[in-house]
A and B are shown apart, each in its own frame.
Chain A
Amino acid sequence: MCLTDHFWQFLVPGITLGSLYALIAIGYTLVYGVLQLINFAHSEVFMTGGFAGLFITQALVTTGVTPHGAQSVLYTVAGLLGGAFFGAVVAFLLERVAYRPLRRRNAPRLVYLITAIGASLFLFNLAGKLFGRDRTDIPELYHNGVVFTLFGAQVRVQQLVIIGTALAMMVLLDGVVHRTKLGSGIRAVAQDAQTASLMGVNINRVISQTFVIGGLLGGAAGFLFGTYLNVHYQMGFLPGIKAFAAAVLGGIGNIRGAMLGGLLLGIVESLSQSCMSSQWIDVVAFVVLILVLMFRPTGLLGQRLGRAA
């Protein structure tokens, strides 16, 4: 049988990709929570992280030499932090330049959406102009050997790094949202912005912070994605759309839903390829989305962060 044969060989890359989708999806879901806006420019925050990580690691790594030991760890962390930082910067600027002026003018919802798409087109074309339109590889930061074999599936260093980092960031975020003052602010604005502002919550600041958090995760995901595949100016498009689908799948506005949706989507995509030709890969993700929305319009976990549910 196609699914049961080599199940684990397809599951491991599925989880790897899924954890990246989850990281990006959180950015969509957080912003939707506080602004009821699908921030389509988030895919470009992701791309920025990829390029930032690329340039930083290119500067650090001597060409042709694969670093090892402490160096590997150092360079990977540098790329990760750089990707996250520049992702956050772009997300912050995006909110300031594109969305805040609209909020001040009480623009209709549709205008936000069009602005988001416009910002996305602008950013990826700018990146294409500045950095070229070729695919570029992030230099090898460690020797990508097999760490262990899981039911016949080889698990490699890279996969562990990606899954591990993604999980750590998600656990951290979950803690921030549920245990800190910043998190209560975000949740308060998501539940009812007006009441929150009456209670003394600075809405503008919370929204900015939300964008920055989404940007941190998205930028880091961009770097990780770059080490796994490659970096180019349109790298955000498909993962962005899929992560959006993942966010909707889990229940848009719901952070744990986004994590679950991302993982699920990555796994489904990968496993489906054991049965079908690879040309169906992008179709599968959206068929799953449509099926879930047909039977559970609020997504798997419901819209908990936002006002619905």
Chain B
Amino acid sequence: MRRRMIIMAGAPVIAGALALSACSSGGSKGGGGGGGKPTYTIGFQGPLTGPNAQLGINIDWGVKLAVQQANAKGDLPFTLKVKEADDQGDPAKGPTAAQQLIGDSSVIGVVGPTFSGATKAAEPLFTQAGMASVSASATNSSLTDPANGFKTFFRIVPPDSAQGLSAADYMTKVLKVKSVYLIDDKSDYGVGLAGNIKSQLTANGVQVTGDSVAAGTNDYSAVATKVANSGAQAVYYAGYYADAAPLAKALKNTSFTGKAMSDDGTNDPKFIQLGGSASEGWQMTCPCLSATASSDEAAKKFVSDYTALANQPPGTYSPEGYDVTNTFIQVMKPLGSNVTRAKVVDGLRGVDYKGLTKQIKFQPNGEVTEKGIYVYEVKNSQITAIGTVDKLISG
């Protein structure tokens, strides 16, 4: 009993001391090894296990590829390493994963967190530690709200408010539907996105009905029946592929004949693998560039390099993860062997880097300036790019 009390009292003290030492010695010159170059670590936080792990794995391989290429080039004044912290995409595990990275003084910046809920939970710690976290995928609108005080948070994808607006306009102006059934998965991400879509649809004069179904629900048959009965011309699912797939299957078994859409959380080959033939014809909005669907030379090279390293083709947000890492490297390079967490944060504020996916340049609140939303469709069991929403509406 007494021992337990000591541990309970001691744990916060130790954690605090660790955090402090991490602050003061941020960017220490690590172990180094031969050559006299210091070693710095780029952290990655996201799900590497759990039901939606693929989205984290996609980014993680992008990070590893960028680091491998930078090290191989040989012109860096330091050696780079990657440290992974698995948060399973779970908000409850977000702070622990963040603490793992903060506690390691060689980590000078973090790619991630991957999911919005985990980001919200982890960001106060990163702000406290003065460490930059640049997400390649967390799109919840409120994350960049100054009221949160997330001072070291950046992202290279536009927020859900942009995606919600585009998705709603796409359904109204391109698909020309008059009624939409909107389902969210009760996560920070799903609810936020659904809210944004709903307000824009209502503004466009579209009738919206909806439901909330907690992620992890297995049986979507009753939900699908409701969608079919509602007579809606389109259904939009705001959530991740692990639940979008069973929903697609359940919908296929009803009389529903309208258009089915989802978001960037569903825009992954895993959706097709899980949903089978039921995923055919689904459309996804995504603020992401699909490297495999691109004809750009740089993108093609990325696809082949990535596939060679990861033994699987790049998925959703793989190019973004690659870009974030390269942005970090871009910022660190001029700092030479004098990289600190604080200098990286400052560097990111002024960065202007042409990545694979877009020109990376941040607004003061950490939001990226370029905001293109793409539409993808499952055709012949492949995710195919249709185009950006702006172009589809105007053309």
**Measuring CB to CB, which residues of chain A are less than 8 angstroms from any residue of chain B?**
5-6, 9-10, 13-14, 16-17, 133-137, 140, 144, 154, 156, 158, 228-230, 232, 235, 238, 269-270, 273-274, 277-279, 281
Q: Bound state CA distance, A281 and B245, in angstroms?
A: 19
Q: Bound state CA distance, A228 and B277, in angstroms?
A: 14
Q: Bound state CA distance, A16 and B250, in angstroms?
A: 13
**Tally of B interface residues using CB under 8 Å:** 30
**Nearest CB to that of B50 among chain A residues?**
A133
Q: Bound state CA distance, A137 and B252, in angstroms?
A: 15
Task: Point out the residue from A10, A134, A135, A158 that lies within 8 Å of B225, measured CB to CB.
Answer: A10
- Residues in A with CB closer than 8 Å to B245 are 135, 230
B277, A140: Cβ atoms closer than 8 Å? yes
Q: Using a CB-CB cutoff of 8 Å, which residues 242-256 of chain B contact chain A? A: 242, 245-246, 249, 253-255
Task: Tell me, yes or no, whether B15 is within 8 Å of chain A by CB.
Answer: no
B254, A154: Cβ atoms closer than 8 Å? yes
Interface centre among B49, B50, B219, B228 (most CB of A within 10 A): B219
B218, A279: Cβ atoms closer than 8 Å? no
Task: Tell me, yes or no, whether B352 is within 8 Å of chain A by CB.
Answer: no
B232 to chain A minimum Cβ distance, whole angstroms, is 14
The 5 closest A-B pairs by CB, nearest first: A273-B222, A13-B221, A278-B213, A9-B225, A6-B229
Q: Bound state CA distance, A274 and B223, in angstroms?
A: 9
Task: Point out the residue from B211, B246, B274 that lies within 8 Å of A277, measured CB to CB.
Answer: B211
The number of A-B residue pairs with CB atoms under 8 Å apart is 79
- Residues in A with CB closer than 8 Å to B255 are 154
- Residues in A with CB closer than 8 Å to B225 are 6, 9-10, 13, 273-274
A144, B253: Cβ atoms closer than 8 Å? yes
Jot down 9 A-B pairs with beta carbons below 8 A, ordered by A.
A6-B229, A9-B229, A133-B50, A235-B218, A238-B218, A274-B222, A277-B211, A278-B217, A281-B219
**Nearest CB to that of A158 among chain B residues?**
B253
- Residues in B with CB closer than 8 Å to A230 are 218, 245-246, 274
**Measuring CB to CB, which residues of chain B are less than 8 angstroms from any residue of chain A?**
49-51, 53, 186, 211-214, 217-219, 221-223, 225-226, 228-229, 242, 245-246, 249, 253-255, 270, 274, 276-277
B329 to chain A minimum Cβ distance, whole angstroms, is 32
A140, B186: Cβ atoms closer than 8 Å? no
- A134 touching B229 in the complex, CB below 8 Å, given contacts A154-B254, A277-B212, A278-B213: no
B114 to chain A minimum Cβ distance, whole angstroms, is 17
Q: Bound state CA distance, A270 and B224, in angstroms?
A: 11
Q: Bound state CA distance, A144 and B252, in angstroms?
A: 10
- A281 touching B276 in the complex, CB below 8 Å, given contacts A135-B245, A144-B253, A154-B255: no
- Residues in A with CB closer than 8 Å to B214 are 279
- Residues in A with CB closer than 8 Å to B217 are 278, 281
Q: Bound state CA distance, A108 and B245, in angstroms?
A: 45
- Residues in A with CB closer than 8 Å to B221 are 13, 16-17, 270
